[in-house]
Structure 1
Amino acid sequence: MTESVSPDTAEPGGQPATPSDEVPNTRDEGAADGARDSGQALVVQEQPSYMDDVVSVIAPDAFDSNPRRRNRKLVIAALFMLGATFLGACGDLLLSAVFAKEQAEIASGAEDKVAREGDAFSFSVEKSSDFPEAAMMNRLLSRAEIAKLSQADRDALGTDGRHLLDYVVSLGGVAGYSSNAYAIMGKKNAAAFSEEWLIRLVSDRSVPLIITDITPVQVKCTPAKAVSLVTVAWEGGGSTEGVFFDLTHKHYSPQIANSGEEHFGDSFFRYKTLELGNGQSSIGLRVGVSGGSKDCAWKSFRVTYSDTTGTFHQDITNGSKGFFVHGVDQARIRQESVVTIKGVEECAISSPGVRNCKISKPASP
């Protein structure tokens, strides 16, 4: 049997124990030793590290008392943040690109709208006087005037027979052309007469436009007044480049007037196109018109063109005076001269439309 010892038991020597003389408490150490001897785990509570404090502030979801799990969470969080940042930047760039494209399209559309609201092209009109082939007058030439057309006076007037026409014009005549009118309108118009205009169209549009038709508008015709005609009949005489309008037809369709072309005399826009804008800044046209046996006036040439938005019209005017072409009616011609390489032939007109031309002394009008 073991006896218990009281804490107040005097130490050897008979002196009572004092607090400062208490022996060290070895109960905890003994418990630890006992836990180790019995195989039980000793849990030691560690103080949070500096990294734990940082993680708890900047990434609370990644906080973990286990360093390995904490590090994995930190890596995943960092990758997620990097991915979100990258996607956000890409989204911003994409939105900026889409916005810039929309703004460019809006600006381009606005420019096109402004361009379409104005005229599609500007134009210039000039009456052609290059290499005329005929001249007509509303009166008969005098004997002295006809004499100037004879071979004796040709040197004074110029070696080219067309210079003789300048003299007729100086007397009040009108110079024009006959070869294309004769070829296109047919041999029944033996005294066919046409006049020409040089028309240039200019456009600074960026939007392409295609001209699909040109036609005279507000055409009014009256019987021709010409009674005297002088023509130049040089071999290989001049030709008209461009388009030709025969106002004796109900529909004023432009015809090809390039005499060397395969489709000469056929519908112009059936075989050809005229384009302006989109780099093609100008077009030049030589436009011939004949009223046949009538004098004809019209207000303008109406141009029909199309672009990506539809079909439109614009008029080509000749200032406030409009356009006018003189006709030649064979039944009314009372005096005719033909200039050839041999000289000036005076034509004897036995009946309306019937004539016999030969080099002879001019008869008195």
Structure 2
Amino acid sequence: MYATAAAVVVVVGMLFAYHANLLLDRSTATDRARSDRQAEKAVDREQPAFVSTVTPRDYDRDTPDAAAVLLDRPLTEGEQATLTAMNGDVSRVWGFMKPLGGRIVEHASHVAPREDGNRKRGQAQTFDLNLNSDRAAGLTINDMTAVKDSCRAPTAQTVVNIPPSGAESRQGLLWDLTGGPTDKPRGPYVLDEGESQGELYFRRNVVELGNGQSNMAFRIQPEVSTHTCEWHLVASYTDTSGSHEQRIPSGTGTFTTEAIPSQPVQYFERVPGTGWGCVGTMSQQGCTATEFLVLD
């Protein structure tokens, strides 16, 4: 009899504990769910808002039709003869100059931005910028501003120029960094063909990232003129916690865009349909078009 009574007490106790826990779970479920969501959001916000990946243009595979190649020393007489024996094809000139330490700078797009007072385009070194976010919550980039960290006079001693034969438009975004360190950058401007060409990109567009959105990729064309500049981007974005900024590249990294010196030691230019024009400290071997060369 005592054993039966004890068993009943145990069963009743277990039932009471079960129902008490069930009531407690139900009464605290909302608070726990809210706490879990807040914790998930906090962990999500600990991740970088987005990651930027920069890929320089591969000039070996994607050589522009018109460009200048810069070198930090004068060409020897033999190297000059090799150069001026070429027909001015950029890929051949680049193949010859790259092993010597050459660097390509592109002629910036001839499609001048509509609201940019700069009608004389400079030089550019394009790269691809990829933006991606692993955040569960979405974010919106509504502006990207270029900031000059420093600018200096270009130092190349040799310039080999293959000028464009006509107007050329390229896809992507252009930042105008022309001028010296006190000249404020402008842009980005749309270079793609279409009715928005030459307009400020963020006037009509935003970049949506996170929340399962696909990454965003841009071809960037930074333009300089009289100065070689170190610079970076500041992206302004909003998320559920407010407005923020993020630096591109992260940390203290910078981009470098090199300008063509106005008076290099040696200057070679392929005059269309005529030959090579040569100015500076050099022999005139192969320079049959020097008299036709027009320098700004």
Q: For structure 2, list consecutive stretches of 5 or more residues without a partner in the other structure.
A: 1-21, 281-285, 292-296
Q: Which residue of 2 aligns with 1:322?
A: 254
Q: Note if contact 2:69-2:161 (Cα within 8 Å) is conserved in structure 1.
A: yes
TM superposition shift of 1:220: 0.7
Q: How does 1:293-312 map to 2 (within 5 A)?
A: 293-298=226-231, 300-312=232-244
Q: Which has the higher helix share?
A: 1
Q: Which residue of 2 aligns with 1:111?
A: 40
* Residues in 2 aligned to 1:301 and 1:273: alpha-carbon distance in whole angstroms: 16
Residue identity in the other structure for 1:137: L
Q: Which residue of 2 aligns with 1:202?
A: 132
Per-residue displacement from partner, 1:327-362 (whole Å, max 9, x unpaired)?
12435575131375x47532558xxxxxxxx97267
Comparing 108-117 with 228-237, greater Cα deviation is found at 228-237
* Residues in 2 aligned to 1:146 and 1:308: alpha-carbon distance in whole angstroms: 61
Residue identity in the other structure for 1:346: G
1:346 aligns to 2:280 (yes or no): no
Q: Note if contact 1:230-1:337 (Cα within 8 Å) is conserved in structure 2.
A: yes
Instruction: Report the CA distance shift for 1:209/1:247 in structure 2 as closer, same or farther (over 3 A).
Output: same
TM superposition shift of 1:237: 8.1
Residue identity in the other structure for 2:236: T
Q: Which residue of 2 aligns with 1:219?
A: 149
Residue identity in the other structure for 2:259: G
Q: Which residue of 2 aligns with 1:247?
A: 177
Q: For structure 1, list consecutive stretches of 5 or more residues without a partner in the other structure.
A: 1-91, 350-357
Q: Note if contact 1:301-1:315 (Cα within 8 Å) is conserved in structure 2.
A: yes
Instruction: Report the CA distance shift for 1:165/1:257 in structure 2 as closer, same or farther (over 3 A).
Output: farther
TM superposition shift of 1:100: 4.9
TM-score (norm. length: structure 1): 0.58
TM superposition shift of 1:209: 0.9
Q: Which residue of 2 aligns with 1:65?
A: none
1:177 aligns to 2:106 (yes or no): yes
TM superposition shift of 1:311: 0.9
TM superposition shift of 1:310: 0.7
Count of aligned positions: 253
* Residues in 2 aligned to 1:244 and 1:146: alpha-carbon distance in whole angstroms: 34
Residue identity in the other structure for 1:261: G
Identity within the alignment, %: 27
* Residues in 1 aligned to 2:130 and 2:75: alpha-carbon distance in whole angstroms: 36
1:282 aligns to 2:210 (yes or no): no
TM superposition shift of 1:176: 2.1
- Which of the residues 69, 80, 103 maps onto 1:135? 69
1:270 aligns to 2:211 (yes or no): no
* Residues in 2 aligned to 1:99 and 1:231: alpha-carbon distance in whole angstroms: 74
* Residues in 1 aligned to 2:271 and 2:174: alpha-carbon distance in whole angstroms: 25
* Residues in 2 aligned to 1:339 and 1:115: alpha-carbon distance in whole angstroms: 58
Residue identity in the other structure for 1:220: S
Q: Which residue of 1 aligns with 2:18?
A: none
Comparing 162-171 with 307-316, greater Cα deviation is found at 162-171
Q: Note if contact 1:240-1:257 (Cα within 8 Å) is conserved in structure 2.
A: no
Greater C-alpha Rg: 1
* Residues in 1 aligned to 2:189 and 2:46: alpha-carbon distance in whole angstroms: 32
Residue identity in the other structure for 1:172: G
TM-score (norm. length: structure 2): 0.69
Instruction: Report the CA distance shift for 1:223/1:319 in structure 2 as closer, same or farther (over 3 A).
Output: same
Of structures 1 and 2, the one with the larger relative CO (CA 8 A, separation 6+) is: 2
* Residues in 1 aligned to 2:271 and 2:193: alpha-carbon distance in whole angstroms: 24
Q: SS where residue 198 of structure 2 aligns?
A: coil
RMSD: 3.6
Residue identity in the other structure for 2:207: L
Q: Note if contact 2:237-2:245 (Cα within 8 Å) is conserved in structure 1.
A: yes
Instruction: Report the CA distance shift for 1:223/1:161 in structure 2 as closer, same or farther (over 3 A).
Output: closer
Q: Note if contact 2:138-2:239 (Cα within 8 Å) is conserved in structure 1.
A: yes
Instruction: Report the CA distance shift for 1:113/1:319 in structure 2 as closer, same or farther (over 3 A).
Output: closer
Instruction: Report the CA distance shift for 1:318/1:103 in structure 2 as closer, same or farther (over 3 A).
Output: closer
Q: Which residue of 1 aligns with 2:160?
A: 230
